[in-house]
Amino acid sequence: MPDAGTCSDRPRERLWRLGAASLTGAELIAILLGHGDHRHDALAMASLLLKPAGGGLRRLAARPPGELLLTAGVGRAKAGRLLAAFELADRIAREERAAVPRIAEPADVMRLVGSRLRDLQVEEFHLLALDTRSRVLRDVLVTRGLLDSSLVHPREVFRAAISEAAAGIILVHNHPSGDPTPSAEDRAVTRQLVAAGQLLDLPVYDHVIVAGDRFVSFATAGLL
């Protein structure tokens, strides 16, 4: 009989190596069970749980809680973890998605990130990854500290945008001085990133500098 701990570790290893989406339903249940007993490892126990449900996760979740306890080796602790997972899945399915912010003008950028950036004592450089409808897919902190072309490398900026399958990006950073006027370094970094975006067919729509309650948009100022 296989060791209870050895087989039950394999789904966890696959999860971290390949991602949770690559696992079968039985493997995911095995991870929730944690371990098997002297007769079955966790994966075999998961298969036993799924058998009366015809292998279907939805039908397994719909079974009365007491029926889970009829499976050999499944006690109240293991059944409880399954019931908690089923309830979480149900709540996630019923939970409304938060509205995704859409960027139509530079003021929208200020409304989105201004409260976080305007009072910082150090510079932070962010990118907003946008979809084809100008909705924000992700706000990524690229670097913190003085803005310098050696720190804000196109590779670091566009890696996140590409991973999000962005249609375009908006650059954002703050000026702790309170003056949003673009510096020579700001302009140089922007030119470098705009050129990189053109090569990658991933356009830079704007670069917004936040300083206190004021901001400057490179697009509006004709600096892109």
Phi-psi region of 203 (alpha: psi -120 to 50; beta: other; left: phi over 0): beta
Task: Return all residues near 1 (Cβ < 8 A) that are at least 6 apart.
Answer: 38, 39
N residues, the chain: 224
- Which residues constitute the domain of residue 9? 4-94
Residues 86 and 9 in one domain: yes
User: What pLDDT is recorded for position 109?
Assistant: 96
Q: Among all chains, which residue has been given the structure tokens 């996630």?
A: 92
Give how many domains the chain has, as a whole number.
2
Burial 90-128 (b: 16+ CB within 10 A, else e): eeeeeeeeeeebebeebebbbebbbeebbeeeebbbbbb
The 3-state DSSP class for residue 23 equals coil
According to the model, what pLDDT value does residue 14 have?
A: 84
Is the entire prediction scored with pTM above 0.75? no
Q: What is the pLDDT of residue 63?
A: 86
Domain contains 222: no
CATH number of residue 171's parent domain:
3.40.140.10
148 and 111 within one domain: yes
Please report whether residue 173 resides in a domain: yes
Check whether residue 114 and residue 187 sit in a common domain: yes
User: Measured between alpha carbons, how far is 104 from 112 in angstroms, rounded to an integer?
Assistant: 12
Tens digit of pLDDT at every position of the chain (224 positions) = 444 444 445 888 888 887 888 888 999 999 999 988 888 899 999 999 999 988 888 889 988 889 999 988 899 999 999 999 999 988 888 776 667 789 999 999 999 999 889 888 889 999 999 999 999 998 988 888 765 444 577 888 898 888 888 999 999 999 999 999 999 999 999 999 999 999 999 999 999 999 999 999 999 999 99
* Domain-terminating residue out of 44, 63, 94: 94
53 & 89 share domain: yes
What pLDDT does 7 receive?
44
pLDDT for position 6: 42
